[in-house]
Structure 1
């Protein structure tokens, strides 16, 4: 927890939009993510508030901007204007900000490995006593489709991975007939179904891997089959540190969620790819939107708020129980309960994204902590064993979702 506290301390100050503390916290977020070699964007905009026009800045940090899809972790970094004094907002949301910074640091090595475009080359040779002389359509030596399928079948049996993703299937994408025949192979991870009550089966997000198979060398009395795996996931990790979540006067549709509303609207109006016929936009790149809020107090309880993300919530249930069985957590009551609250409505930064069809996993305890919007929401209200448990469960969730090698 030493590193966690070191990134939390600069955030444990009142962070009212437009204040010096607010700007300093933003710099802390930007500098920390820059130091980890993430691509950081400061999205500044002007918006009307009950106190006139104000500048807001969303901080967007992306591990690999070139990846098509994103697992998004989000929280807000501003704090509420409190009539009775200086409001720190330790749970709301200094701790979530620090959890994200801590995750990026602790998992830096695994995340960097994930960011690489290929794995080591592997070579497999299959020896044959005789090589059949087969004439291709171009008059050059090559193997027939039947022989190629036999090679692929034998190769698949010998090179099946025993380490991790053993549920890939090998499919023929295309066959080129040339001096050296090449087969492009696509492998996809099957996705399984899961409900909140069933936490024994863990579904995986599809991960695409590509590789080349070369067969039928130009000379010699053997077949040489070479598989060159190029494993590049089209999925990356993105952090959104959103500004202006809190209302300036009284919570309303116009006086709240300033950063989330602006960013969601911008993303919807930004086509992706730049030229496409499907009317897709930047919001379609969000694979899952995970919002962290009101975290850090003792004995909190979570629920699943959206049916289409029940299975991801079930992963959290499973991770907590398995890690608890391995004595990796501080022993307390389970915080991820087998409970759905699909009719429970919470106004938070996820709303502008949810209304535009983005799948949301909302990590907010219900009931809210007793310190919510009180001056007592400061460091003294925090329970570090619970925070450490949450950190570990979040590490496991991100590692599993991104298929990190840890």
Structure 2
């Protein structure tokens, strides 16, 4: 991604019809962390991604196979699709480079083609060509691992929810919501970032989905139309990030995620927090310190949106009318596009906190309260709290 500032127009109204159910404090406490799966040397989710994976190389193919093996082995109910394209690049000497996007989808059972609106959770998995040996831990190996963890965590709860709906005879189209994990190839420029040397995979996928039509009687005309919200994670895993709210039409979703962050911090579940119980226990002064929020613009008002954005994989979708929540720090972490962006320079408390936050957001979006294997309290205990 490159930092760009442009004036953009905002169209449409805030989505008011989407169901969004808060989860209880007990559910937040019970959501599993990634634990050893995020170990940078041996972790089953993260370690295989921490390698050079330039598009079209053996490293890229190995990481893609890691994703495929994960879903086939652990989440067999998810439908996998590989979307292929190719393009010449400034460094390919006229030869086409292959780009492969992985699309993993979990829809309600018996849902018709084109009848499901989806939450899309997105990250790119390719790494930069230069400097030689570049790993790209925040950019974006760690975000990819976060999405795998989120998918695994909500999977059984989705199964239980849909089974309960079917048993009660309430599985109608009004609650036909699904979730997608999009792992995109070719985000990085091969030479110098430009409209043609960047976003190879996302440009190809957005164009294909715009021109793929569902059956005539479908609720959604195209796969692109079925995306209710496109949540893009990038550059996550360094200590002390601050993520702006970029788009007025999705500020409501930003506020929901920010509210979850506040609750996780209040519950002592954010490992990077200076007020995490383990950190307080090690200090002589036990007084609470000010919380450094990841999502620090929840109080932003409509008049405070000035049209700035960061160029990233969401742009081809945004240009086609898809609603986007871009989760990327500004300013960028100091390791951005530097050889030091490797596993050893990840702040693992921050990585785990992002994984927990994104998972909880997906759980609330999919209205999964009561379907996790934890002892939960009534949702009313949390929904009555004041919003940000």
Q: TM-score range by the shorter chain?
A: 0.7 to 0.9
Compared CA separation, residues 325 and 64, structure 1 to 2 (3 A)? same
1:32 lines up with 2:70 in the alignment: yes
* C-alpha deviation, 1:240, in angstroms: 0.6
1:238-387 alignment, distance < 5 Å = 238-272=180-214, 274-275=215-216, 280-330=221-271, 331-332=273-274, 333-338=292-297, 339=300, 342-387=306-351
TM-score when scaled to structure 2?
0.73
Residues 88 and 378 of structure 1 are in contact (CA less than 8 Å); yes or no, is this contact kept in structure 2? Answer: yes
Query: Deviations along 1:224-273, whole A, 9 cap, x unmatched?
Result: xxxx544663110101111100111111101110000000001111122x
Compared CA separation, residues 115 and 259, structure 1 to 2 (3 A)? farther
TM-score when scaled to structure 1?
0.70
Residues 296 and 382 of structure 1 are in contact (CA less than 8 Å); yes or no, is this contact kept in structure 2? Answer: yes
- Aligned mates of 1:279, 1:316 — CA distance in 2: 26
- Aligned mates of 1:325, 1:258 — CA distance in 2: 41
Residues 162 and 171 of structure 2 are in contact (CA less than 8 Å); yes or no, is this contact kept in structure 1? Answer: no
Give the paired residue count.
298
Compared CA separation, residues 325 and 279, structure 1 to 2 (3 A)? closer
Higher strand fraction (1 or 2): 1
* C-alpha deviation, 1:4, in angstroms: 3.0
Q: CA RMSD in A?
A: 2.0
* C-alpha deviation, 1:120, in angstroms: 3.5
Give the 4+ runs in structure 1 shifted more than 6 A.
none
Query: Deviations along 1:264-322, whole A, 9 cap, x unmatched?
Result: 001111122x2259993221100000000000000011110000000000011111111
- Aligned mates of 1:279, 1:32 — CA distance in 2: 29
* Structure possessing the higher relative contact order (Cα contacts under 8 Å, 6 or more residues apart): 2
- Aligned mates of 1:386, 1:342 — CA distance in 2: 29
Residues 64 and 115 of structure 1 are in contact (CA less than 8 Å); yes or no, is this contact kept in structure 2? Answer: no
Name the residue aligned to 1:185: none
- Aligned mates of 1:279, 1:103 — CA distance in 2: 26
- Aligned mates of 2:165, 2:307 — CA distance in 1: 44
Name the residue aligned to 1:55: 98
- Aligned mates of 1:256, 1:336 — CA distance in 2: 27
Unmatched tracts of structure 1, length 5 or more: 122-227
